[in-house]
Each structure stands twice: as C-alpha cells, then as structure tokens.
Structure 1
Amino acid sequence: MPDDIPKLPRQRGKKNQPKDTAWKQQNLPALRPHYDVTSAIPVTLITGIATLAMGIALYFGHNGSLEQEVVYTNCSLANGTQIERIMRTELGNETFQCSYSVTLEQDFTGDVKFYYGLNKFYQNNRLYFNSRNDQQLRGKINEIDGCDPLQYVEDKNGTKIPIAPCGYVANSMFNDTFQLFYMNGTTNGTTRVPWTTRGVLGATEMKRKFRNPVRAQNQTLCDVFQGTIQPPDWRQPICQLGMNSTDPNVGLGFENIDFMVWMKVAALPNFRKLYRILNRQVDMFSNGLPKGTYQLVINYNYPVYMYDGDKSFIITSENWVGPRNLFLPVIYLVVGTFLLLVTILFILIWLKQRLSRVHPT
C-alpha cells in the first residue's frame, strides 16, 4: 500500500546550535577564589569572635533566669508509703495527694511560668509519635487511621467502637495536677497562687489543630462523643476531660489545654512542658512571685516506675533568652573557642611562611 503521507525534507546544519556568545556558550569570566591561610584568618577570626560573644551573652542571660525545681518521683503519703512503689493496678481511680514545701530565696519578678518535667520518656520514638490521627483531633471522631493498635475496641457483638482520642500519644497523657499556695498570705495564713492558661499555646495552633465535634442545638459534649470509647489507660471519657478542673478556661475535650500541650511531642527523652503561667492581674502577684515559703500540692496520678523515670515541677522566671538551659550557650562557647584556636594556628602557619620567604634556607 503506497504511503500517501508527504515526507518533509530533513533539516541539516546548525539550525539548533546556540549562538557563539559568551553567555550562551558559558564562557563568561568567573571568580575562582583560591583559599590559603592568609584569606582564612579573617574568616575564622570574625566567626569565632561573633560565636564566642553570642555564647557569653546567652550564658549570662540564662544565669539571669531564676528556676526552682521540685523532683517528686518519690512522693510520700502521710503514712510514709512511697507512691512510685504502688503498682498501677493498685491505683485504680484513686488519686493520691502529697505536698512539698518550696522556699524561694529571692523574688521571681516578671512573667513566671510553671512546667512539669519527665525524664527517660521517649516521645521521639517513631512508632509512638506517629500513633495518632490529626483529623480526629479536628473533630472527625470516626477518623482512626494510623492509630493502630489503639484504633478501636470490639464489643461482644463484634462491633468496632472507635477510641477517642486514639493512638499511643493520647493514651499516655500526663494527668498529674498541681496547686501552689503562698504561705505568707493574708487569708488564714495561705493564699493560692493564681494561674492562667493564656499564653500556654498559640491561639492559631489551638484553633487549627484541636476542635471538638460540632454540636447541634441542645446537645452536650458527651452527646456528640457517643459511639466512641476512651483510651485504655484513661480514667474518664474525653467529654469529661477538664470538667472537674479547678483552673478556669482550661477547656473541655479535645480543646483541653493539658491535652493539647501533651499532644505536642517532645524531641528529647528528657523534657519539660508548660503547665500554667502566673496570673499577674492579681494585686499580690502583679510583680511576680515574692520570695518566701510556698506549699506545692500534687495530685499524683501518673506512674513512672515502669520505665524508671523521674517527674518534676519547675518554677521559672524567664528573661529574653527563655527558660534556663545552658546547652546552647556551652555549644556557642565551645565552637567560638575552637575557631579562635584555629585562627591562632593559622597565624602561626602564616608567620612561618613569611619567615621562610625572608630567610630562605
């Protein structure tokens, strides 16, 4: 069968060849620096001085931050029993309460923040921090993908009841609570230190990542969570979370401030998380925490004996560098000192080269 498709003549020659210009042929002149000891000295010197200066500033800044830490892992009851030796099965729904006397040697002026700390708790484990469903935390309570094996519970009829909130992270939520009393107050000798949740988390983060399911008119929060079940290690359903809190504006359900703080996993096994901030709108504490004696009352709910961890409560008065942490200043000081030593070495090499030129052998 004859080919009726006309054949186009082939184009030969230099039709597609770029023009012979410096730009298109990549022949533009370029700077090709040659590094030697002479050019390296100012770089290491300036960088070393800047890094060392930053380390010194951070060091004095962190030393200016006041901090009082109370390690309460071995919290003891009135009968002398240490709580960390009580097994989880013995805890049940009972809350143990213990107290510590805390003495502030100087005024904690300015914004005072209160943290809880955990040691040897690996929230950075991949299987742990991936065990959650962010869609569920935004109000879609039936979204449980990614929470295996804490996705659902089967009832006697084989029906799968979704866990809300699902996953390892939510199941291990920290639930110790604290109260702090100033012993030099005017009301029966004690005054409760006022706390606020304002500023613990950013408003944008709270609204975008954590939302309770939409409620119809006359529906309670527990009504919209019907058909779900609480995580295995929880003592109450999600709809009651924050309901019995002594702190105002703590939030309920997925919007509970303690729950939201816990769901932000930590990068290191030893970490602290912001619990509350001092409410400075109260006249007695408008300038911060005055020095004196305080009583810290702890509702002990969270066991750490199974992984040999520690728990602590931290009171901090922060300045421009944030919480007291000497890790970053030490790194800056070490790097800055190293660069200055390298600069000295380069100077010695440069002097040796100059002398060898002046007095050749």
Structure 2
Amino acid sequence: MHSESEVQYHMKAPIYVYYELDNFYQNHRRYIKSRSDKQLRYGLKYTDSSCSPIEKSDGLPIVPCGLIAWSLFNDTYDFTRGSMGIVVDRKNISWRSDREHKYGKDVYPFNFQNGSLIGGGKLDPDIPLSNQEDLIVWMRAAALPQFRKLYGVIEEDIQADEIITMHITNNYNTYSFGGKKSLVLTTSTWLGGKNDFLGYAYLITGSSSIFLSILFALIHVKIPTHGDAAYLSWSRKNGNN
C-alpha cells in the first residue's frame, strides 16, 4: 500500500523514521522475561526455560528464543519524492553498547520462525545477531503500551510543501491484540527529539517541588521550631544524676 503526504514544514536532516505501536504491552511480566540474554551473547550452548513458551520448534532449539524475538516487528517502509527515491539508512539504529556487548558476533539465527506458529519478522540466518539491528531495537522492551522504535534515518532535507509518497508493506498484525500502528517522521534539536510525556512530567514534578518548598517555608515562618538541648536524652540522664 502507499500513501501521499504534503510536508508542512522544512525538515532538516537527519530525519528520524519511527514506527509507533499502541496497546502493545512489552512491559508485561511474562513477555519481558521470555528471553535468554546469555543465548543472545553466546549462542546455542544456552537454551534455558526462561524463553518459555518459545524455546524449541520440532524438537530443535530456537535462536533467538523467547516471545520478544518471536514477535519481531516486520513492516517495511520506502519513500519517494516525485520519481526519485529517498534513501533510508538502516545502519546504526541500535545502541552501540547493545551491538558490541549484548549480541554475539558469531551467534547466528537458528530454526527461527520455522514452526507452524509464526509470530513476526524473520531473520537472515547468514547474518550474526550483532548485525541484526531491527532485532536489537525491538528487544529493548518499552516501558509503556504506546511506544516508538527507530526504523531508519533519512540523511537529506525535505522541503516544505513537497509531496512525499510512503510505500508501506503491511505485514504486522495489530488486529489480534486490538492495537494500532503509525509511521512517524521527526527531526531533533540540540535539546533532543519531541517527547510530550517527558515534558509534562518535568513540568508537573518541578511545579510540585516549588509549591511544596513555598508551603514548607510558610509553615516554618508561621510556626517556628527551635531545638532545646534540655530535651536531649543525654541531658535528662545528666540532670537525673
């Protein structure tokens, strides 16, 4: 499927392409525990029950195992401007620390999505997990049921009033859990990207702190309290003696 959209404002590169899911609880206890960090790092020699219920398929172990990997997001996006394609850079979209320290460079997908029950995207069995950046981004579980994950980066400006055509391969089934999915293009400033939740949280927390500080100051001025050494336990003992 494809959709056209007119860009309302000048978007300066880099432009970040996110997919957004709503009503998807990656923070569910059973879901978030269904993984093996040792297997992601060291491979087949670690197959433990923490991946239940996605541990094996047809009697063979699965790499990567667990519900998180099994439900990998697999929609794809392409963009054109007129007859010209817009390149989306899919590299370095994950955290460097994850690539280098959490996913093995010699660990390859094995028996993944080969059973009768298919969850989400497939993985190239010839590419090590440390280079499977879609998987690495997806495996960093979100704390809230509505979240965005980075799909790629556009390294060219998009001018205001330009018509951008988005070509979407609609693979991921959100109907099964009553969810929604969206495509988001955004830029960032030296302050970072747009995040209304954090802004509201900081404003509410800061305002509450200022209000409580003023309240306690007024209480202190109206009802001053002074320390009296006579009430100290050692003073009473000395007085009794």
TM-score by length of 1: 0.54
Once the two structures are superposed, residues 104-146 of structure 1 have per-residue CA deviations (whole angstroms, 9 ceiling, x without a partner) of 1111114211100101111111111111112222251242212
Name the CA shift for 1:335/1:211 in 2 (closer, same or farther; >3 Å).
closer
Instruction: Decide which of 174, 180, 200 is 1:304's aligned counterpart.
Output: 174
Q: Does 1:131 align with 2:34?
A: yes
Aligned partner of 1:132: which letter? R
1:205-354 alignment runs, 5 A limit: 205-213=98-106, 225=110, 228-230=111-113, 232-233=117-118, 238-240=123-125, 252-254=127-129, 255-279=131-155, 285=156, 288-291=157-160, 292-342=162-212, 344-345=214-215
Q: Is the 8 A contact 1:165 1:230 kept in 2?
A: no
Q: What's the counterpart of residue 71 of structure 2?
A: 172
The CA RMSD over aligned residues, in Å, is: 2.7
Count of residue correspondences: 219
Cα 1:346–1:129 change in 2 (3 A) is closer
Residue 152 in 1 paired to residue 56 in 2?
Answer: yes
2:95 is aligned to: 202
Q: Residue 165 of structure 1 contacts residue 238 of structure 1 at CA under 8 Å; is this kept in 2? A: no
Q: Secondary structure at the match of 1:336?
A: helix
Structure 1 letter corresponding to 2:33: N
Q: 1:107 aligns with which of 10, 14, 33?
A: 10
| Farther off after superposition, 295-304 or 138-147 | 138-147
Q: Deviations over 1:151-208 (max 9, x none)?
A: 1134xxxxx211222111111000000001113xxxxxx2111121343123332122
Deviation by residue 1:16-68 (Cα, 9 ceiling, x = unmatched): xxxxxxxxxxxxxxxxxxxxxxxxxxxxxxxxxxxxxxxxxxxxxxxxxxxxx
Q: Could you tell me which runs of 5 or more consecutive residues in structure 2 were left unpaired when the two chains were aligned.
A: 225-241
The structure with the largest alpha-carbon Rg is: 1
Deviations 1:321-356 (A, max 9, x none): 3221122222332333334444554565577679xx
- Residue 253 of structure 1: CA displacement? 4.9
Structure 2: distance between partners of 1:332 and 1:234:
38
| Separation in structure 2 between the aligned mates of residue 197 and residue 341 of structure 1, nearest angstrom | 46
Larger deviation, residues 333-342 vs 201-210: 333-342
TM norm structure 2: 0.79
Q: Which residue number corresponds to residue 29 of structure 1?
A: none
CA–CA separation in structure 2 for the residues paired with 1:99 and 1:343: 54
Pair 1:121 & 2:24 matched: yes
Q: Percent identity?
A: 31
Structure 1 residue 240 displacement after superposition? 4.6
Distance 2:86 2:185 in 1: 12
Question: Could you tell me how far apart the structure 2 residues matched to 1:238 and 1:205 are?
Answer: 18
**Aligned partner letter, 1:147:** C
CA distance in structure 2 between the aligned counterparts of 1:110 and 1:153, rounded to whole angstroms = 44
